[in-house]
Amino acid sequence: MYQLNRWKKTPGILQIISGSLLIALPTAPLVASAAPVPRLNSCPGIYYEEPFNTNVRVPQGCRSNAANQRLNQQELGQNIVPPARPTNVTQPPLPETRQTPIATIMPMAGEVSVKLTNSTNAPISYQAIGHTESRMLARGAEIVLQNLPTPVTVTVVRADGGLLKVKPMSSSEKGMLEVSIDETSNFDGNQGVLRIQSDGQVFLN
């Protein structure tokens, strides 16, 4: 019994070694973690030297180089949207191709009426561009398109694909254009597009 109590009171060499290890282990990582970490340069000068200056884009936050400026200009050019051309607006022919008007009418408050007479042996499709849907006009029939704001374009097409000749007719009614739509066998004389300008001049194609 005496020997056991003596063993407990007197620390052995194993106890001394294990206690030293427990005290020393936690301190090792603390010393390593305190070492300073070198910071990397995100904008090295090589980006501003050839061939990188003109071929490699620098990272975001860096001063722009020649490659950045060139690529930015290209992207800007691709994002430019050309202005939309207005639709349903009739443009007069260019001066060198300007035709002689087939008729002249006096618009009433900027509007005209168009009377179409189908003198062919086939139905005709007609439309006031931007103002009416495509409609059919039976052979021998006539129709009046009223209060069309100028400028305006009226198209006529034979349902069987035949050729047309459009002839203006005299009218006693102000602001009214009367046309007769006849058949023709002359390819050069095929017509089907009436263009009425704001000044009342009428062109035919």
Per-residue pLDDT tens over the stretch 63-107: 888 888 888 777 766 555 555 555 555 555 554 455 788 888 888
Token output for 128? 């006031």
**So where are the chain's domains?**
43-71, 100-204
CA distance 90 to 153: 7
Q: Are 193 and 116 in contact (CB under 8 A)?
A: no
Q: Are 179 and 117 in contact (CB under 8 A)?
A: yes
What is the pLDDT, as a whole number, of residue 11? 56
Which segment of 56-70, 89-103, 117-131, 153-167 scores lowest on mean pLDDT? 89-103
Instruction: Give me the architecture of the 100-204 domain, per CATH.
Output: Sandwich (2.60)
Scored b (16 or more CB within 10 A) or e, 55-91 reads eebbeeeeeebebbeeeeeeeeeeeeeeeeeeeeebe
pLDDT above 70 (res 17): no
Q: Is 148 exposed, middle or buried (0-12, 13-18, 19+ CB in 10 A)?
A: buried
* Amino acid found at 174: K
Q: Look at the pTM and tell me if it is higher than 0.85.
A: no
Tell me what the pLDDT averaged over the chain comes to. Answer: 75
pLDDT above 60 (res 199): yes
